[in-house]
Amino acid sequence: MRPLLLLLLLLLATAHGLDKLSYRPRLADLEGRVTGSTFVLEQPRCIFDKYNTAEIWLVVATRAGMGDFNDSAQPGMPEWSFQRFPANTSAYLTLGAMQYHYRCLEPNRELTVLRVGSETSCADNASVPNCNGPLPSPGPYWVKFLALNDSESIATTQWSGPITLRTARAIPSSPGTGSGRSGAMIAITAILSVLLAILLAAFLAMLCSSEACGVGSFRPDSASIHRYNTHHVYDQSAARL
């Protein structure tokens, strides 16, 4: 029953003439546009100007989601909620805005952006299916914008190119990683250890060559040596003479 309903919605959208726009979402040209759980898009300025009363939604999808997503999907539908992504759904809708939020701006080089994945408070709250929660893995992800008028899909953009998030680099722990540098460091360490041992031995030898070690040209004081005869031992033959 459910696949039949989705097919019916798709046919209705086609019958009403869903506009396929040539715009393709792209990452903003700024520092930090991709992190471990977020990415930053340029806002689709001047793209939806003729859809005066439309709501504009961002669709975030996995590779499979680009084929699975139905352009007649409605915000708030459980099958397209953030909390079910990506384990139980391959795409979700988020960052709903009115058309006037993306109106054309004066050419003053102003950069307006959307940060995808910036809300943490609603990530586990099923009552907020359109949460802009942190992305659960590095991806890659694809995005597009979908315009709805009174819950009817009226226009959609092209899918973006793949967007891959940053991942932390693991610190090399195996000896094989950077073996050339490790071998050189071992050789330098060994040479320095030998030189240090030689210097230490020379220093100790210099110290022990001085009077501090009791070695060298020490002459005992003659006043400290006494010659004597005990009073009860004497040479009797000498005494007779």
Please report the DSSP string for the chain in residue order: -HHHHHHHHHHHHHHTT-EE------B-SSTT-B-SS-EEEE--TTSSTT-TT-EEEEEEE-HHHHHH--TT--TT-GGG-GGGTTTT-SEEEEEEEEGGGG----SS----EEEET---TTTT-TT-TT--PPPSSS--BEEEEEEEETTEEEEE------B----PPPPP-STTTTHHHHHHHHHHHHHHHHHHHHHHHHHHHHHHTSGGGT-SS----GGG------TT---HHHHH-
Q: Residues 5-30: pLDDT tens digits?
A: 444 444 444 445 799 999 999 999 98
State the pTM of this model.
0.65
Whether 88 has a pLDDT exceeding 60, the answer reads yes
133 domain residue, yes or no: yes
7 domain residue, yes or no: yes
Structure tokens at 142: 């694809």
How far apart CA 214 and CA 192 sit, in angstroms, is 32
86 domain residue, yes or no: yes
Structure tokens at 7: 């097919």
99 domain residue, yes or no: yes
79 domain residue, yes or no: yes
205 domain residue, yes or no: no
> Higher-confidence residue: 70 or 182?
70
How far apart CA 214 and CA 220 sit, in angstroms, is 12
Question: Domain span at residue 17?
Answer: 2-156
Contacts of 21 (CB under 8 A, 6+ apart): 47, 155, 156, 157, 158
107 domain residue, yes or no: yes
Give residue 225's pLDDT: 38
Count: domains in the chain = 1
Q: Are 126 and 117 in contact (CB under 8 A)?
A: no
Whether 92 has a pLDDT exceeding 90, the answer reads yes
84 domain residue, yes or no: yes
How far apart CA 101 and CA 147 sit, in angstroms, is 13
Residue 165 CB: number of other CB atoms within 10 A? 19
Q: How confident is the model at residue 210 (pLDDT cuts 50, 70, 90)?
A: low
Structure tokens at 96: 């709903």
